[in-house]
Amino acid sequence: MKLLVVLCAFVALCASHVIPTVPGDNSHYVEGESRYVWMPDGEGKPVLVDLHEPVDEALLNSRNGANNQYWLFTRRNPNNAQVIRINQPNTIWGSNYLGSRPLKVIVHGWNNNGNTAMNPTITSAFLAVQDCNVIVVDWRALANGNYNTAAAGVPGIGQHLGNFLTWLINTAGGNWNQVHLVGFSLGAHVVGNAGRQTGNRPARITGLDPAGPLWGGNSNALNRNNGQYVEAIHTDGHLLGIFNPVGDADFYPNGGKNPQPGCLISTCSHGRSTDLFASSVRNPNRFVGRQCNNIWDAELGNCNGGTLVMGNAVISKRGRGLFGLRTGSSWPF
């Protein structure tokens, strides 16, 4: 019997290192054991990632958070970005930034950039419901390196973002109680580090399916202490996203894992978190979660406790616990 158990474990370990051939199919993936995983590029197309690939130290040193770009959008310029540069106050004075407005910050994930679809989708949703400043962070210089290098650079990207936000508010006004940071995948960990860098002052942080590979037990991962209120929306748990709770409130739509309704592959389920959030901003009470007794009930969708709305743009939102809900398969879900 012992021999059979050892043999099965060996076969599973070998299988986890076989290069998968079906694009986007991560059914083989076992966290902490598998070497290869499919991840979406900027257009949602699956790209095979080797989690054993060495970190490119030269790239990490040359393309760090100092290369971040900060694109401002407001209702006066909803489609054409105004670039704000840290320590160059004239770039603020010549822009439409107003310190009296709430500030929303959006951070993309690996192999993405400021033009990736999630950014205009969420930006337009914010501007549709509120007169606010929206800053899209473009960190493509590092995000478009190999995944391991990008992941290793996340703390530095976040620290630079935190320093930028501190400079922006100190220079041109603003209120930390009106700051909402939103990050997808690796970007969720970026905004966590940004919050930590500012002394955990942002009023709200939303992590959209925080990246899972290389982040289990990682001290630099998004956590509930990074802001006044931290929320996470899990849509591809156990695969491309972390499944365990990381925030004050963690939402598990459709069990929080692949396949999400309308998705056939993990890469689709991972990206679904961005669309669910954008829809929730436009329809603030659309997604009502019910509190779960534990993480197992969240995965099974057996949640019948108190309610808390998932997502939206309400800066004063507060809540605590695990919440399950069901969504549709297409916009607005």
Of 34, 108, 180, 185, which one is the catalytic site residue?
A: 185
250 annotated active-site: no
27 annotated active-site: no
Of 209, 236, 275, 297, which one is the catalytic site residue?
A: 209
238 annotated active-site: no
Whether residue 289 is contained in a domain is answered as yes
Whether residue 181 is predicted with pLDDT greater than 50 in this model: the reply is yes
Whether residue 13 is predicted with pLDDT greater than 70 in this model: the reply is no
Average pLDDT along the chain: 94
Whether residue 29 is contained in a domain is answered as no
28 with 15: CB under 8 angstroms?
yes
Q: How many domains does the chain have?
A: 1
Closest CA to 26 of 208, 265, 273, 237: 265
CB hemisphere CA count around 308 (13 angstroms)? 24
What distance in Å separates the CA atoms of residue 26 and residue 111, rounded to the nearest whole number?
18
Where would I find the beta strands (DSSP E) of the chain?
36-40, 46-50, 69-74, 77-84, 103-107, 133-138, 179-184, 204-208, 230-233, 249-253, 288-291, 307-309, 321-325
Q: What is the pLDDT of residues 101-114, one digit of tens each?
A: 999 999 999 999 99
Whether residue 59 is contained in a domain is answered as yes
Whether residue 310 is contained in a domain is answered as yes
Tell me if residue 3 falls in helix, strand or coil.
helix
Whether residue 332 is contained in a domain is answered as no
Looking at this protein, which amino acid is placed at residue 264?
Answer: L
User: Which residue, chain included where needed, has tokens 């407001």?
Assistant: 74
Of 28, 108, 234, 270, which one is the catalytic site residue?
A: 270
**With pLDDT > 70 as the criterion, what percentage of the chain qualifies?**
95
Arithmetic mean of pLDDT, 220-247: 98
Q: What is the pLDDT of residues 258-313, one digit of tens each?
A: 999 999 999 999 999 999 999 999 999 999 999 999 999 999 999 999 999 999 99
Residue-by-residue DSSP string for 274-309 = HHHHHHHHHSTTS-EEEE-SSHHHHHHT---S-EEE
Q: How far is CA 303 from the centre of its chain?
A: 24
80: left (phi over 0), alpha (psi -120 to 50) or beta: beta
CATH number of residue 259's parent domain: 3.40.50.1820
Whether residue 301 is contained in a domain is answered as yes
Whether residue 22 is contained in a domain is answered as no
220 with 150: CB under 8 angstroms?
no
Q: What is the pLDDT of residue 275?
A: 98
What distance in Å separates the CA atoms of residue 251 and residue 331, rounded to the nearest whole number?
19
Domain that residue 141 falls in: 53-325
Q: How far is CA 157 from the centre of its chain?
A: 14
Whether residue 14 is predicted with pLDDT greater than 50 in this model: the reply is no
